[in-house]
Each structure stands twice: as C-alpha cells, then as structure tokens.
Amino acid sequence: MMKAFFLMLGFFTRIPVPQIEYTEERYVRGIPLLPFVGAVTGGVLACVWQLNRWLPMPAVSLLMFLAYLLVTGGIHLDGLGDCCDALFSGRDRDRMLEIMKDSRSGSFGVLGLIFASAAYLILLNYASWQAALLFPVIGKCTPVLASTLSPYIRPQGMAETFCKHATGGVLVFDLALCLAAAFLLNIPLGIAAVLSLLAGALVTLRVKSVLGGITGDVLGLVCELTQLAFLFFCLIRFR
C-alpha cells in the first residue's frame, strides 16, 4: 500500500519520493489514496499559512499559491486551461477534443488561468489554516467523482486506466474520508465541502452534456473548480 501511495504522490506532486516501479496493479491500488495525496499538499499549505504571524495575509496568500504551484506542478491547472480553450471555442465536439490535445494555449485558456490564479490569491487571503489543509483533499476526491458520473471518451488516453478503475466503492470511500475530516474540523467546513462537491458534480454533468463524456483535462478542470468553490463557500457564514 505504501508503494502505491508513493507512486501516486510521484504522479500528482513534485515532492521527492522513493523511486517506485510502475505497475498497473500499484496504480489501481493507489486510486483510493488520492485524498491522502491531497492531504500532503494541504499540509504544506497549512504550514505556509502560519507565516501570517509575521507577514500580512495578502503576502501569505501569494506564498501559499506559489507553494501550491511548486508542490503540484500545476498539473490540474493545465487541464483547466485546455478545457477553457475547447469549451469556449464555439466549435463542434470533435474539434473541441482536438483543441484539448493541442499543446499551445489559446486566449480562452490564458484567460481561464488568469481567472483561476486571481481567484486563488483572493480566496486564500481569507482562508483559515483548516481550509488551506482541506481544499486539496476535496480536490483529489473529484477525479473519482467525475469518473463515476461520466464515461471516459478519449480512447487510449492517459486517464483511461484511472477512469476504468474509479468505481463507486472508491468514490464512497473517498467521500466518506474527506467529509468526515471536514465535519470533524468544524461544521461550516463540512457544509462547504458538501456544496463544493455538488458544484464539481454539476460541472462534470455540464461537460458531459457538451462532449458526451470526460477526458483527463476535464478531470483537472473539475478538480480546480471544486477547490475554488470550496474556498469560496468557506467564506459564507452558515448562521
């Protein structure tokens, strides 16, 4: 199990980990462990949050976002940019899928990344250390959520194995884990987690209605938008 965890940590972060030989069995066993990968990223961000003892919070927000980029390598933001280029292109389904595969960034992709970056900088400015810890955990539940709600439509794509093995049982395990963690920290965080996961589900279903399913880039889009939704919902006073 630890080898499967380190394999997934190596895939989804830039954190130095022991070199683990890839096997499909280890990869599949690592899929339910994605919330723990998110917890590692969140732990780094929660530590950076503590700098607010010496720095104003806007500066800490900038450092947290920089840490997020360094730890994750912007893996899901890349998917967000590709999806913005495709979904806002006004083209037909086949052309949208071609645009997603194009390594070049178009205007909508750049605008999407600017919006996401600005949103992170603003929302992290108001985040508690608990929210900073949890939002990557919530985000790492969404690839399994999206794979359960929608079919994978890119033959032999990089995410095909993931989507094939992201079953309903894995989804129940991951959701129970992240929601339990959120509600144990405090009730408002739990409510924000539920609302953000619902938002992620709606985004998935909307993309499904346009493309007929999901791709690896869509998994990145849903992850990032769910994380931003969680940070936004954390600002609401549920009283």
pLDDT digits (tens, 9 = 90+) for 130-151: 999 999 999 999 999 999 999 9
Position of tokens 């194009």? 102
Q: What is the pLDDT of residue 158?
A: 65
CA angle (228 as vertex; 88, 173 as ends), nearest 5: 110
pLDDT digits (tens, 9 = 90+) for 82-114: 999 999 988 888 888 888 887 777 889 999 999
pTM over the 0.85 mark:
yes
In one-letter notation, the amino acid at residue 54 is: W
Q: Left, alpha or beta for 156 (phi > 0: left; psi -120 to 50: alpha)?
A: left
Is the pLDDT assigned to residue 160 strictly greater than 90?
no
pLDDT digits (tens, 9 = 90+) for 29-48: 999 999 999 999 999 999 99
Helix axes 129-149, 216-233, angle to 10 degrees: 140
What gap in Å lies between CA 139 and CA 136, rounded to an integer? 5
Length of the chain in terms of residues written = 239
Q: How many CB atoms lie within 10 A of CB 184?
A: 10
What gap in Å lies between CA 145 and CA 175, rounded to an integer? 9
